[in-house]
Amino acid sequence: MTISASRPAAAQAPGPARRIQVLGWIAFLAVLVAEAVSLWTSPPDRDMGHLQKLMYVHVPAAWMALLAYGLVFVLSLLYLWKRDERHDLLAAAAAEVGVVMNALALALGSIWGRPTWGVWWTWDARLTSTAVLLVIFLGYLALRAFTEDPDRRARWSAAVGILGFLNSYIVYMSVRWWRTLHQVQSSPETLDPIYTRGLRMNAIAFLLVLVYFVARRYRAARLERAAEARIEEAALAGEGVHV
Amino acid sequence: MVEDREGAALQAIVYQRDAGLAVDVNGIARRFGRKWALRGVSLRVEAGEVVAVVGRNGSGKTTLLRILATLLRPTRGGGRIYGHDLVSEAAEIRELVGLLGHAPGIYGDLTAQENLVFALRMMGRTPDRSAVLEALEAVGLAREAGERARHFSAGMQRRLALARMFLQRPRLILLDEPYASFDPEGIERVNAFLKESSARGAAALVATHDLARAAAVVDRVVRMDAGTLVEESWTRPADTGGEPAAFAVGPGEGRGEWNA
Amino acid sequence: MERVRGWRRELARAGAIVWKDLTAERRTRANFNAVVSLAVLTLLLFGFALGPDTEALRAAAAGVLWLTVLFSGVLAFNRSYQLELENGALDTLLLYPGERRSIFLGKLGANFAFVLLVELVVVPVAAVIYNLPLLRPFPGLAGVMLLGTLGFVTLGTFYAAMASRSRAREVLLPLLLFPMMIPVLVGSVEATSALLAGDPMGDSGAWLRLLVVFDLVFLVASVLAFEHVIEE
C-alpha cells in the first residue's frame, strides 16, 4: 500500500471574510465601550493621577502578547506533530500580532514610567522580561524572513517558537531575582481594586482585537498560499508523463 | 484443503515477489520553493537489479536519489523501500540504504583510515581495523591509509567514499554520477562493486549521463527529463547474449527470462 | 534488550562525533586560536572601556568574563557545522542508521569541550587583568562555569544547526541565541560575582539551581526538536 498525499488542506482557499469583518466591528465597539466605562467610572489615582489609566491599556496589551506567544507555542507543537501548513501560517499570524501587542505594552510601560520614576527605563522585572520576549519573537520573525523554503521555514520557526516561549517564565523569574537582589525601585505589583472592572472590560476588548487581527492576518496568509498552490498545480501539470 | 494449500502457495509466491521489490514508489513529486524538481515519478526496482537513471543536469536524478535515501521528504507521493514506508519508516530504510553523492562527505583533517573508522562507529559497529584496510585495498588506497584526506585528489576522495560504501554493504545502493571524476581504474572498481552487490541480492540505482561506462553492469535504463520519467528500456548485458525482455514495469514481468 | 542496545549504540555514535570534531580541531587548531585570541582581546577592550580604576573593574569582572565567553564562544558554533557542510559530510552523517539526536549530542559534547578549553585560558587571564581571587572560590566557580557553559553551548549548538545553513548566518545566530541567554547570563554573572566576593549571602546556590533548571529544560527541548531542524 502506498501513501499518496493529495492536495494539502492548506492549499485550499479560506472561507468568506464576512465573519471576520463582523468580528472587527464588535472588537472596535468593545474597545470603545471599555474605554468609556474605564475613563468615566474610575477616579484619578491617589498618587498617579490620571496617568494610572494608562494601565488600562498597558496591562491588557501585555497579557495579549503573552497569550499570542502561547498560541505560537501550541501551534508550533501541533505543526511539528502533524506537519499541517495551516498551523504554521496561524502561528506566524499570532507571532506578528503578538509582537505588535508586546511593543505597545513596552511603549506604554515606558511612557507610564517617565513621569512616575523620572526615567524612560528602569530594569523593572516585568517590563524587562517583556522586552526580552519581544526580542526573542522578533528573532522568530527575522528567521522566517530569512528562510525561503516554506517547509524549512515552518519547521525552523516552530522550533524557535517553542524554545522561545519555554524561556518566557525562566526569563521572568531570573530577572525578578536579579532585581530584588539589587533592590532597584519597583513598580506596583497590584493595582487598586477600583480599577478591576475597567481592566476586565479592557482585557476582553483586547482579546477581541487580538482574535480579529490574527484572523485577518491568517486569512491573508491562506489566500496567498492558495494562490501559490494554484501556480504550483499549473507548473506540475504543465508537463510530464507517468510511466 | 487442496484449495487452501494452493491459496497459501499463491500467497507465498506473492510475498516473495513483494520481498523482491527494493524500490516501489508512486507519484513522487518534490517542490523546492516554487519549482518542481520532480513531477510525479513512479518506479519499481527489484532486489538484485541495477538500474541506470539517465538524464540531463536538472532532470531530477539527484533529487530522486536523495528522496529514496530519505534525505528529502517527497512533497507528494510515497512508496516503500524493501517494504518500509518512505516517510514513516525512514529510520528503518536508512539501515538498508547507501548513497554516494556528488560530494564525498569525508573529513580533510582525518586520515583515510580514520575516516573509515569514524564511518564504522557511526554505523554502530566496532571499528574493525582489518575490515577498514580491506576496504581501502579494494579501492586502491591502501598505501594512503595514514595520509590526511585533505591531500587527496578529487578522484581519491571519491574512492574513499566508495570504500565507505564497501564497509556499509547496503541493500539498496544509490550512486549519483559515480563515473565523474574517477579515473578508469576507479570506474572499474565501481562496476565491480555493482556486479558483486547485485549478485548478492542488493539493488542499485545509478544516476549518470555516461551510459557507456555503466552498460556493462546495468540491467535496465530509465530516462528522466524535467522531473519525470520519460522512457524505459532494457539493455542487453554483454555476457548473457539473451533476447531483451519485453518492456515492462512490475515485479517479475520479463525478469524471469533474464535470469534463465 | 533491544532498547538497551539502542542507547549504547547512540552513545557510541555521539562519542564518535566528539572524537572526530576534537581530533580535527586538535590538528589544525584554527578555531581554537582564533577564538582564544578574540576572547583575550575582548577582555582587554572591556578593560579599556570601563576605565583603569581597579575597584570598578573588579566589580564588573564577572559580567565582563561572561560577555567575553558569549561573544567569542558564539564563533565556535557555526564553524562546527561548517566542517560538515563543506564536504557534504552532513548528508553522510544524516544517512547513517540511528537517531539524529545522537548527532546533536555529539556536536554538543564537542562544542562543550571546546568552549571549556577556551575558558581554561580566558579565566586565568581575566583573573590577572582584573585582579581576581581564583583559588578560594574555585569549586563553586567551577560549578558555575560548567553549568553556565552547558546552557550556552546547548542552545548555541541547536540554533547553529539552522543559522549555519541560512543566508544570514553571521547575524542570525547571535540574534536568535543571545536573547535566550538572559537567564544564563544573569545567573552565571550573579553567581560568579557572589563567589568572587566570598559569597556572604549564600546567594550562589539559588543561581546555580536556576542554571540547572535552564540547562535541563533546554537540553531536553533541543534534543527533541533537533531532528525536525536538521533535515534538508
Judge residue A180's burial from the number of C-beta atoms within 10 Å of its C-beta, 0-12 exposed, 13-18 middle, 19 or more buried. exposed
Compute CA A142 distance to the chain's CA centroid, rounded to the nearest angstrom.
15
Checking if the pLDDT of A225 tops 50, the result is: yes
Of the pLDDT bands very low, low, confident and very high (cuts 50, 70, 90), residue B257 is very low
- CATH code of A180's domain: 1.20.120
- Among A159-163, A230-234, C144-148, C184-188, the minimum mean pLDDT is found in A230-234
Compute CA B241 distance to the chain's CA centroid, rounded to the nearest angstrom.
25
- Among A155-169, A187-201, B197-211, C12-26, the minimum mean pLDDT is found in A187-201
Judge residue B224's burial from the number of C-beta atoms within 10 Å of its C-beta, 0-12 exposed, 13-18 middle, 19 or more buried. buried
Which residues of C fall within a CB distance of 8 Å from A164?
Answer: 180
For residue A226, being part of any structural domain is answered with: yes
Give pairs for B165-168: CB < 8 Å, separation 24+. B165/B98, B165/B100, B165/B193, B166/B135, B166/B138, B166/B139, B166/B193, B167/B116, B167/B119, B167/B120, B167/B123, B167/B131, B167/B132, B167/B135, B168/B98, B168/B119, B168/B123
Of B72, B97, B103, the CB nearest to C88: B103
Q: Inter-chain contact C186–A175, Cβ cutoff 8 Å?
A: yes
**Contact assessment for residue B84 and residue B249, using Cβ atoms and an 8 Å cutoff:** no
The span from the CA of A77 to the CA of C204, in Å, is: 35
Shortest alpha-carbon distance between residue C228 and chain A (Å): 6
For residue A3, being part of any structural domain is answered with: no
Grid coordinates of B191? 562496476
For residue A146, being part of any structural domain is answered with: yes
The span from the CA of C154 to the CA of C73, in Å, is: 12
A102-129 tens-digit pLDDT: 999 999 988 888 887 788 887 888 889 9
For residue A2, being part of any structural domain is answered with: no
Comparison of pLDDT for B2 and C172, the residue scoring more: C172
Q: Put residue B228 in one of left, alpha, beta given phi > 0 → left and psi -120 to 50 → alpha.
A: beta
Number of domains in chain A: 1
C89-104 tens-digit pLDDT: 999 999 999 999 999 9
The C-alpha cell 507543537 sits at A77
The span from the CA of C156 to the CA of C214, in Å, is: 14
pLDDT of amino acid A220 = 93
The span from the CA of B76 to the CA of A3, in Å, is: 9
DSSP string, B74-116: -SEEEEEETTEETTTTHHHHHTTEEEE-SS----TTSBHHHHH
A122-152 tens-digit pLDDT: 788 888 999 999 999 999 999 999 998 889 9
| ipTM for this prediction | 0.92
DSSP state of C168: T
Averaged pLDDT, A224-243: 73
**Contact assessment for residue B134 and residue B167, using Cβ atoms and an 8 Å cutoff:** no
Q: Return the ∠ at Cα C153 (arms to C151 and C155), rounded to 5°.
A: 70
For residue A194, being part of any structural domain is answered with: yes
For chain C, positions 2-31, list CB contacts with chain B under 8 A.
9, 12-13, 15-17, 19-20, 23-24, 27-28
Checking if the pLDDT of A208 tops 80, the result is: yes
- Subunits in contact with chain A (3 or more CB pairs closer than 8 Å): B, C
pLDDT of amino acid B254 = 29
Of the pLDDT bands very low, low, confident and very high (cuts 50, 70, 90), residue B212 is confident
For residue A243, being part of any structural domain is answered with: no
Q: Mean pLDDT for chain A?
A: 85
Residue C210: closest C-alpha in chain A:
A174
C61-74 tens-digit pLDDT: 999 999 999 999 99
Residue C19: closest C-alpha in chain B:
B118
B205 three-state secondary structure: strand
Which residues of C fall within a CB distance of 8 Å from B95?
Answer: 97
The bridge status of strand B50-54 relative to strand B220-225 is: parallel
The C-alpha cell 520553493 sits at B33
Which residues of A fall within a CB distance of 8 Å from B221?
Answer: none
Q: Inter-chain contact B25–A232, Cβ cutoff 8 Å?
A: no
Grid coordinates of C8? 549504547
Shortest alpha-carbon distance between residue B85 and chain A (Å): 8
For residue A6, being part of any structural domain is answered with: no
For residue A88, being part of any structural domain is answered with: yes
Averaged pLDDT, C62-88: 92
Which residues of A fall within a CB distance of 8 Å from B88?
Answer: 3
For chain A, positions 79-138, list CB contacts with chain B under 8 A.
none
Averaged pLDDT, C154-182: 95
pLDDT of amino acid A183 = 66
Question: Residue A66 belongs to what domain range?
Answer: 14-235
Comparison of pLDDT for B239 and A147, the residue scoring more: A147
pLDDT of amino acid A189 = 54
Q: What helix, strand, coil percent values describe chain B, rounded to 5?
A: 40, 25, 35
A76-92 tens-digit pLDDT: 999 999 999 999 999 99
Test the C interface: residue of A80, A81, A102, A163 with most C CBs within 10 Å = A163
Interface contact A235, partner B, CB < 8 A: yes
**Contact assessment for residue B105 and residue C91, using Cβ atoms and an 8 Å cutoff:** yes
- Among A80-94, B11-25, B54-68, C141-155, the minimum mean pLDDT is found in B11-25
The span from the CA of C188 to the CA of C212, in Å, is: 11
Enter the pTM of the model. 0.88
- Among A162-176, A184-198, C131-145, the minimum mean pLDDT is found in A184-198
Q: Return the ∠ at Cα B98 (arms to B92 and B103), rounded to 5°.
A: 130
3-state SS, one letter per residue, for chain A = CCCCCCCCHHHCCCCCCHHHHHHHHHHHHHHHHHHHHHHHHCCCECCCEHHHHHHHHHHHHHHHHHHHHHHHHHHHHHHHHHCCHHHHHHHHHHHHHHHHHHHHHHHHHHHHHHHHHCCCCCCCHHHHHHHHHHHHHHHHHHHHHHCCCHHHHHHHHHHHHHHHHHHHHHHHHHHHHHHHHHCCCCCCCCCCHHHHHHHHHHHHHHHHHHHHHHHHHHHHHHHHHHHHHHHHHHHHHHCCCCC
Q: Mean pLDDT for chain C?
A: 91
Of A147, A160, A174, the CB nearest to C210: A174
Comparison of pLDDT for A201 and C223, the residue scoring more: C223
CB count in 10 Å sphere of residue B143:
10
